[in-house]
Every structure is written in C-alpha cells, then in structure tokens.
Amino acid sequence: MQKYFVEPEQFGDEEVIITGQDAHHLVRVMRSKPGAKFIVSDGEAREALVELVEADSEQVKARILEHRATTAEAACRVTIAQSLPKGDKMELIIQKCTEIGAVSFIPFQSDRTVVQYDSKKEAKRLERWSKIAKEAAEQSHRNRVPDMKPSMSVKQLVQAMEQYDLVLLCYEDERGTQIRDVVQPYATKVASVVDKGEVLIIVGPEGGFTAQEVETFVNAGAVSVGLGRRILRAETAGMLALTCVLYETGEMGGV
C-alpha cells in the first residue's frame, strides 16, 4: 500500500488533504478512484489508513479509517555525514540509507572532495535530495522523512559531533579496530534503554580522508573503524556501516 507524507496542518481528526506532487501521484500515476485506500503520515507522530473521497489533480480529500500508532522507526537514530561524492552518488546514498533507516544526512566538504562547492546550487541540490529522501521514506513505509542538513566544513562537522553519543569514522586504512569492535559494546550499553541513542557515521569522498583529517576527527572523539578487508566505494561504506549499527542495536531480531 502506498504511503504519503503531508504537513501536520493537512492532517485533521477525520480527514486528510493531500496536495502538490502527491495529489498528482495519486490521481495521475496511481489512477486512484474514490474508495482507494492508502496510508498518510504527518512525518511526526500521526499515521492513518485512509480512503479517497474526492480528487482532482490539485487536491485529494481522504477520510481517516483507522489511526495507527505503529512505528517503522529504528530505536537507534543514525545520521550519515557524507563527504560529497562525484556525480549522482549522493542520490543513491540518500535513497538507500533512507530505506535502511537513517534519520538525517549531513553533506560535507573535505580535503579530497572532488565536487566543487557552489553556494548557488546548494538550495536546488538540497531540494532535490529532500525529494529523494521523502520518496524513499514513503516507499519504505517510514514514519518520518530524514532531515537533510546544509553542507558543512570539516570544522563545522567536528562541532556538530557533540550532539552524538557515538561517532564512527569509516576509514579504509584502519587496520586495528573494526566496526563490530565498537558497535557491539555500544549496543550492549544501550540495550536496556528504549531510545538507543544518537550515532553519527562519517564517510569520506572517493579519495578518502587525509591523515590530518583522521587525526582531527579522532581527537574530537570519533572512533576510526574498518569495514572489513574489502575496499568499498565511497557510496557503499555508509550503507554498510548503517546496516551494522541497526543490526547490532536490535532492529533485525536476535535480542
């Protein structure tokens, strides 16, 4: 069943109004008729099974059949800080990590970032990425759309680190500590709490981090971890690290 996110003010007690691209998707793409059922969420706490009452391509009115309290959100809130990769790889990262369960994305500039930062393009790019996150959240039945933060410098990212209780730096030259060495004790520590903390995963660009950047992050409290013996592409490391954290904190059974 298709899911759509609406603004809280569109979400009434008995009725929901869907507008914009979602209305277009419902009417023109899905060709939904009165009586068609789908799920609506306000991206916060409310979610409902609804039935289409009337629609044109501008606006869809739907009646709430059943309020739902279930959540598809992970107890451990993971943010992906990704040094901007080339081409459209950031889009793949956002789509896949949203499906897997990330709650937030921070694009950042590091020494070996190839992509030139362009403040004029920034707004347009954030808008495009937010759209991808929204669509992926809808398709994967998330209760919330991940946040898309504006681009940061390494310095700004280091300052933002204090909001997290575990910061993992994915570093392909890390020979000692592997990700499980860190995530396993962390998961044990948070096992008894309902809200399993805030984790930040930092991933480098195609050329990796410089030794100085690694030192900067580690001095600020990040733990440098390896992700196995195979070299991962820039866009693969985050998905894999995110999967490991959610697996170990109990999102996929076994606890």
Which residues of the chain form contacts with a copy of itself (CB under 8 A)?
71-72, 74, 92, 96, 99-101, 139-142, 177-181, 183-184, 225-233, 236, 239-240, 243-244, 246-248, 250-255
Least CB distance to a copy of itself at residue 47 (A): 13
For residue 13, give the DSSP letter: S
If the CB atoms of residues 111 and 174 are measured against a copy of itself, the closer one turns out to be: 174
If the CB atoms of residues 52 and 179 are measured against a copy of itself, the closer one turns out to be: 179
d(CA 74, CA 76): 5
d(CA 4, CA 175): 44
Q: Is the separation of the CB atoms in 243 and 75 below 8 Å?
A: no
Neighbours of 177 (CB within 10 A): 14
d(CA 142, CA 194): 18
If the CB atoms of residues 55 and 146 are measured against a copy of itself, the closer one turns out to be: 146
Least CB distance to a copy of itself at residue 95 (A): 8
Residue 155 φ/ψ, nearest 5 degrees? -60, -45
Least CB distance to a copy of itself at residue 41 (A): 13
Least CB distance to a copy of itself at residue 254 (A): 3
If the CB atoms of residues 10 and 140 are measured against a copy of itself, the closer one turns out to be: 140
Least CB distance to a copy of itself at residue 79 (A): 17
If the CB atoms of residues 63 and 144 are measured against a copy of itself, the closer one turns out to be: 144
Residue 148 φ/ψ, nearest 5 degrees? -115, 110
Least CB distance to a copy of itself at residue 139 (A): 7
Residue 94 burial (C-beta neighbours within 10 Å; 0-12, 13-18, 19+): buried
Half-sphere exposure in the Cβ direction for 34 (13 Å, CA): 4
Q: Which residues contact 185 (CB under 8 A, 6 or more apart)?
A: none
If the CB atoms of residues 119 and 254 are measured against a copy of itself, the closer one turns out to be: 254
